[in-house]
Amino acid sequence: MAYKIVIADVTELSEEIIDVSFDASIPKDSFARSSDIEATLTIKGKVSFDADKLFMRDAAKSMATWALVKPESADAYKKVTVEYQHATAPRKYEFSHAFVVSYEETFTKTDGEFTLVLKQKKDRIDGVVIE
């Protein structure tokens, strides 16, 4: 399985991705189909300090920096494209106005992992494309 992730003006990732998940949901307390729809992408990957993979260190730094952007900044929202390249079942998710819900890094003595949670801006939910 191979991933290609593009976060506009932040980074491109194609290696060291562990897992990607997509979730579309409405509030749990709803008793009917709600127009209050949320779309979430969760991306998990490795942060390697191997000399051949320092791009992941830099990519992680770029994502961490994006996570700290203030909400009133135009840079808080980015176009994000995630492609899962599989021979028989490829999938593509595109968020036109993604923002960071959370970003986490954890490290061991040799390397680390990151988890990036993104949501589509609620008034732009029609900007989510799934292919």
What are the domain boundaries of the chain? 2-25+38-130
Q: Residue 100 has which token pair? A: 């960071």
Tell me what pLDDT residue 55 has.
67
Tell me what pLDDT residue 1 has.
57
Cα dist from 1 to 18, 89, 128, whole Å: 10, 10, 23
Tell me what pLDDT residue 51 has.
65
Judging by beta carbons within 10 Å of its beta carbon (0-12, 13-18, 19+), is residue 27 exposed, middle or buried? exposed
Query: pLDDT of the chain along its 131 residues, tens only?
Result: 589 999 999 999 887 899 999 999 988 887 888 888 999 999 999 987 776 666 677 888 999 999 999 999 999 999 999 999 887 889 999 999 999 999 999 988 878 899 999 999 999 999 999 99
Question: Are residues 10 and 66 in contact, defined by beta-carbon separation less than 8 angstroms?
Answer: yes
Closest among 75, 80, 64 to 120, alpha carbons compared = 80
Tell me what pLDDT residue 34 has.
80
Q: Residue 77 has which token pair? A: 């929202």
Tell me what pLDDT residue 4 has.
93
Tell me what pLDDT residue 54 has.
65
Tell me what pLDDT residue 69 has.
97
Yes or no: is domain 2-25+38-130 CATH 2.40.30? yes
